[in-house]
Amino acid sequence: MKSKADVVVIGGGSTGTSIAYHLAKLGADVVLVEKGYLGNGSTFRCATGIRQQFTDEANIKLMKYNIERWKKLSEELGYDINFKQTGYLFLATTEEEVEAFKQNIKLHNKFGAPTRLITPEEAKEIVPLLNADEFLAGQWNPTDGKANPFKTVFAFARKAKELGAEIYEYTEVTDIIVENNEVKGVKTNRGTIKTDVVVNAANAWAPIINEMAGLDREFIPIKPYKHQLVKTEPIKEGQIEPLVCPPAWNDSYVIQDGEDGGILCGTGLEYGPTYDMTPTYDFLREVLKWATRIIPALKYVHVLRQWAGFYAKTPDSNPAIGKINYIDGFYIAAGFSGHGFMMAPGVGEAIAELIVKGKTHVPLDWEWYDPHRFERGELRSTAFQIG
Amino acid sequence: MRFTEHPILDFERVRGREVTIYFEGKPIKAYEGETIATALHAAGIRIFQHSTKKHRPRGLFCAIGKCSSCLMKVNGIPNVRTCITLVEEGMQIERQDEKPVLPKTSKPPKWKEPPRIEADVVVIGGGPAGMMAAINASDAGAKVVLLDENPMLGGQLVKQTHKFFGKREQFAGVRGIKIAEILSEELKKRDIEVFLETSAIMLLQDGDEKLVVGVRKNKELVEFKGKTVVVATGAMERMIPFENNDLPGVYGAGAIQTLMNTYGVKPGDRVLIVGAGNVGLILAYQLYQAGVKVEAIVEAMPKIGGYFVHAAKVRRLGIPILTRHTILRAEGKEKVERAVVAQLDENWNVVPGSEKVFEVDVIALAVGLRPSIELLHQIGCQIKYVPELGGHVVIRDSRMETTIKGIFVAGDSAEIEEATTAMLEGKIAGISAALAAGVASPGWLKEVEKTQRELEEFRSGPFGRKVLEGLKKVVVE
């Protein structure tokens, strides 16, 4: 293991591997440490979706930029990460929701996201298996999409290594060495790495890392909430390509896995804060009740798997991204509240540029995601979250 | 083709009323009590589906619901395990040649509360281990419920036509099929509720108790709540790598026994058996009994693995046993038409020029089993890889309790051994589960200890050596 580096990234999910890749691309000597295997925290457990359909300027702009990055990512990384623009379809069950959709669409369009209101008939054409009768209208953005989280993390890591980064799996950080409010190194179960810069990309586990750096655990109050998914056996492609979600039905959603055609089904049944990842029977029943109401034909397919992962939530469901002012050389990109995978390319790029160049061209609103906002008691409007 | 006569078996007991089912729209004669796969096989249909990516033909392989080789569309529902689904009058059966396309105009299902069955001990699996666990837990004072995904009780006993060894109280001299009947009768005598065609899909801790989530007949949810659970889910046939090992006609040995001994359907005309352990040897004899020609048994090891008595019987029938031989490939367009075997040298390399071709339509793989530990794994029991016991197995104590309190294991799901040891383990697990549930009097501990001694004695022979070595690695106190 290397004993020194320009930057040590803690956390090997989509965010951490993206940061490592972008840093290496900018010529930094970077080491990434991950306590398990790459992606095992939240990325490999996610529902694969990528959307611009948020309800605030900062998230819409960041995600619009991200979509452009996702489109070119396979080519850039030299590995097909299977990004597909299959869209996100939200469905309204009441007139009030239709009104809210119209407001959302105005906002999306204002920042360049091509969302539009569609009829249930149009929705049925997009999702042939949809139980369209139950809905009044759809909020549809065909440029949203999905990608393969396994391949994405692999591709980021592979390219990062090609560019000189070192990646150490099963390497758990045990302490952050801070002297005179400056980062000096990272202690792990496999040795110490001297460094002036540390990025905390540990998402659900980020408060533990903050504490090691001498910060209060509650300084950035990220809490792990258990969310779950079930996946059905594969069905033929093209039947449920977009992510389909009627928010009024307990934030339930279905999306066809772009890789094998299985249907991922989620719902808003949340447990926590907890680090427990045991799947629950209550979730299985709840999610299948909603999934078969959205797509009745799902009653004919078997569920193959059920698993849990974390939404690493902040009080306003927006991530903490940026520099920690109390410790020179300490950065964070964590607390993605369920949106880490979709934001990874742009966030990795922005943090890398911030570290190397002191500024970034990525349209990332540093003020909005300021890690110090919580201690100031300043919360953002809650980021639109599903599942 | 169906057998009407057999020296030992009477198939009329499984064959019910004649019904008509439809394969790709064509009517086929079947009998109630038969599985779909059996009826199709009897009608000469070998290809059940084509794989979705490479479109390779697939047919029956395990015949006990554990692999996915026999999935077909039944009455419009895709991916039905035809090997454990019983025929019904008018059933429409279709081959699957691509990933399912679902109907666009379905109605959402009506949700109702699933029935909840409460018991002291829930037993998953109705084979020798599970039935013995249920019977003994019941005798020890527990309210017991048993579920099994197959349409009949007995597990693999229902296809074992040979007589058992051991002691009289361990059913020595009795055929497996008869033992299945005896144990079924014993279950019936007791107040044990049995759920057949019910798959356990989830095993959970539920407060201080356990919850087993079951799905009956592929559609109805059933909840089983118990203070303790015995997992006796058996084993799954192993596959070995060779060219075209997925061709229809390559069967697990157990699948051939299921077709032939349970349902009385001729598996094929000429058979090559891979593996000369007890299963391979017994299978050869059973095929001969049923009038099927066995061309040869190939065995990669330098010595026959099974008991001498079985090997001698097979040799007397003139069936060649080729040790230090392996199968190189199966050949055939859509199903097995021949098998190519070759000799191996001391370094397990193929001896050039030693290839032999056997014109066979069935290749039977008797190359071992691996424990079915999926539910135990899912709930989080500690697992260890122990080759002597058949692969990944759970850590447990001498009373068969796993690392999760209240979860017990018995039979082949604990380690690959044989039906006699499965029954003894089932007895130990059943009584221990009743004791752990707090319903059995402490006096039952003596019965556990007695059974442990019997088990020890049974394993004391040369064939028990390997298992005993393996058990040292997983049995903890």
CB contact under 8 A, B108 and A292: yes
Within 8 A by CB and 6+ apart from B316, the residues are: none
Instruction: Give pLDDT, residue B102.
Output: 94
Residue A238 C-alpha, separation from nearest chain B C-alpha, in angstroms: 9
Indicate if A161 and A294 belong to the same structural domain: no
Give the phi and the psi of residue A59 in degrees, each rounded to 5: -70, -40
Q: CATH number of the domain at A102, please.
A: 3.30.9.10
Indicate if B144 and B170 belong to the same structural domain: yes
CB contact under 8 A, A300 and B109: no
Q: CATH number of the domain at B151, please.
A: 3.50.50.60
Indicate if A270 and A212 belong to the same structural domain: no
Q: CATH number of the domain at A167, please.
A: 3.50.50.60
Instruction: Give pLDDT, residue B419.
Output: 92
Instruction: Give pLDDT, residue A362.
Output: 98
The answer, for A125 touching chain B at a CB cutoff of 8 Å, is: no
Q: What string of pLDDT tens digits covers the 387 residues of chain A?
A: 999 999 999 999 999 999 999 999 999 999 999 999 999 999 999 999 999 999 999 999 999 999 999 999 999 999 999 999 999 999 999 999 999 999 999 999 999 999 999 999 999 999 999 999 999 999 999 999 999 999 999 999 999 999 999 999 999 999 999 999 999 999 999 999 999 999 999 999 999 999 999 999 999 999 999 999 999 999 999 999 999 999 999 999 999 999 999 999 999 999 999 999 999 999 999 999 999 999 999 999 999 999 999 999 999 999 999 999 999 999 999 999 999 999 999 999 999 999 999 999 999 999 999 999 999 999 999 988 887
- ipTM at complex level: 0.90
Q: Please check whether residue A271 lies inside any domain of the structure.
A: yes
Kindly state the average pLDDT of the residues B89-95: 97
Indicate if B428 and B458 belong to the same structural domain: yes
State which of A295, A313, A331 marks the end of a domain: A313
Distance CA A135, CA A124 (A): 10
Q: Dihedral of CA A73/A75/A76/A78: which sign?
A: positive
Indicate if B350 and B388 belong to the same structural domain: no
Instruction: Give pLDDT, residue B163.
Output: 82
Size of interface A-B (CB pairs under 8 A): 63
Note the pLDDT tens digit of each residue in B285-303. Answer: 999 988 999 999 999 999 9
Indicate if A271 and A168 belong to the same structural domain: no
CB contact under 8 A, A298 and B76: no
Cβ neighbours of A236 in B, within 8 Å:
98-101
Please identify which residue in the block is written with the tokens 């939200």: A90
Residue B464 has pLDDT above 90, yes or no: no
Nearest 5°: CA angle at A22, between A21 and A26? 115
Indicate if B169 and B223 belong to the same structural domain: yes
The answer, for B51 touching chain A at a CB cutoff of 8 Å, is: no
Cβ neighbours of B111 in A, within 8 Å:
289
Please identify which residue in the block is written with the tokens 């064939």: B463
The answer, for A301 touching chain B at a CB cutoff of 8 Å, is: yes
Indicate if A302 and A229 belong to the same structural domain: yes
Domain range holding A260?
88-142+223-313
The answer, for B316 touching chain A at a CB cutoff of 8 Å, is: no
Instruction: Give pLDDT, residue B4.
Output: 76
- If phi > 0 it is left, if psi is from -120 to 50 it is alpha, else beta; for residue B51 that is beta
Residue B405 has pLDDT above 90, yes or no: yes
CB contact under 8 A, B100 and A280: no
As a three-state string, the secondary structure of chain B is: CECCCCCCCCHHHCCCCEEEEEECCEEEEEECCCEHHHHHHHCCCCCCEECCCCCCEECCCCCCCCCCCCEEEECCEEEEECCCCECCCCCEEECECCCCCCCCCCCCCCCCCCCEEEEEEEEECCCHHHHHHHHHHHHCCCCEEEECCCCCCCHHHHHCCCECCCCHHHCCCCEHHHHHHHHHHHHHHCCCEEECCEEEEEEEEECCEEEEEEEECCCEEEEEEEEEEEECCCEEECCCCCECCCCCCEEEHHHHHHHHHHCCECCCCEEEEECCCHHHHHHHHHHHHCCCEEEEEEECCCCCCCCHHHHHHHHHCCCCEEECEEEEEEECCCCCCEEEEEEECCCCCECCCCCEEECCCEEEECCCEEECCHHHHHHCCCEEEEHHHCEEEECECCCCEECCCCEEECHHHCCCCCHHHHHHHHHHHHHHHHHHCCCCCCCHHHHHHHHHHHHHHHCCCHHHHHHHHHHHHHECC
State which of A313, A344, A361 marks the end of a domain: A313
Indicate if A271 and A353 belong to the same structural domain: no
Residue B80 C-alpha, separation from nearest chain A C-alpha, in angstroms: 9
Indicate if A205 and A328 belong to the same structural domain: yes
The answer, for B52 touching chain A at a CB cutoff of 8 Å, is: yes
The answer, for B111 touching chain A at a CB cutoff of 8 Å, is: yes
Nearest by CB: B102 against A280, A289, A297: A297
Give me the residues paired with residue B206 across strands: B209
CB contact under 8 A, A300 and B211: no
Indicate if B348 and B404 belong to the same structural domain: no
Indicate if A159 and A306 belong to the same structural domain: no
Interface test with A, best of B72, B73, B102, B149 (most A CBs within 10 A): B102
Cβ neighbours of B201 in A, within 8 Å:
303
Indicate if A261 and A127 belong to the same structural domain: yes
Cβ neighbours of A234 in B, within 8 Å:
52, 99-100
Domain range holding B64?
11-94
CB contact under 8 A, A280 and B204: yes
Total domain count, chain B: 3
Q: CATH number of the domain at B74, please.
A: 3.10.20.440
Contact B32, B19 (CB under 8 A): yes
Indicate if A250 and A349 belong to the same structural domain: no
Indicate if B305 and B346 belong to the same structural domain: yes
In this prediction, residue B57 has a pLDDT band, given cuts at 50, 70 and 90, of very high
Cβ neighbours of B204 in A, within 8 Å:
280-281
Total domain count, chain A: 2
Indicate if A160 and A296 belong to the same structural domain: no
Residue B282 has pLDDT above 90, yes or no: yes
State which of B94, B124, B159 marks the end of a domain: B94
From the CA atom positions of chain B, what is the Rg in Å? 22
Which chain B residue lies closest to A298 (C-alpha atoms)?
A: B102
Instruction: Give pLDDT, residue B160.
Output: 86
Indicate if A217 and A233 belong to the same structural domain: no
Indicate if A295 and A331 belong to the same structural domain: no
In this prediction, residue B463 has a pLDDT band, given cuts at 50, 70 and 90, of confident
CB contact under 8 A, A284 and B213: yes
Interface test with A, best of B99, B112, B378 (most A CBs within 10 A): B99
Indicate if B231 and B376 belong to the same structural domain: yes
Instruction: Give pLDDT, residue A122.
Output: 98
Interface test with B, best of A300, A303, A304, A307 (most B CBs within 10 A): A300
Q: Please check whether residue A61 lies inside any domain of the structure.
A: no
Which chain A residue lies closest to B374 (C-alpha atoms)?
A: A305
Distance CA A8, CA B64 (A): 52
- Average model confidence (pLDDT) across chain B: 94
Q: Please check whether residue A349 lies inside any domain of the structure.
A: yes
CB contact under 8 A, A299 and B108: yes
Note the pLDDT tens digit of each residue in B199-243. Answer: 999 999 999 999 999 999 988 999 999 999 999 999 999 999 999
Which chain A residue lies closest to B108 (C-alpha atoms)?
A: A296
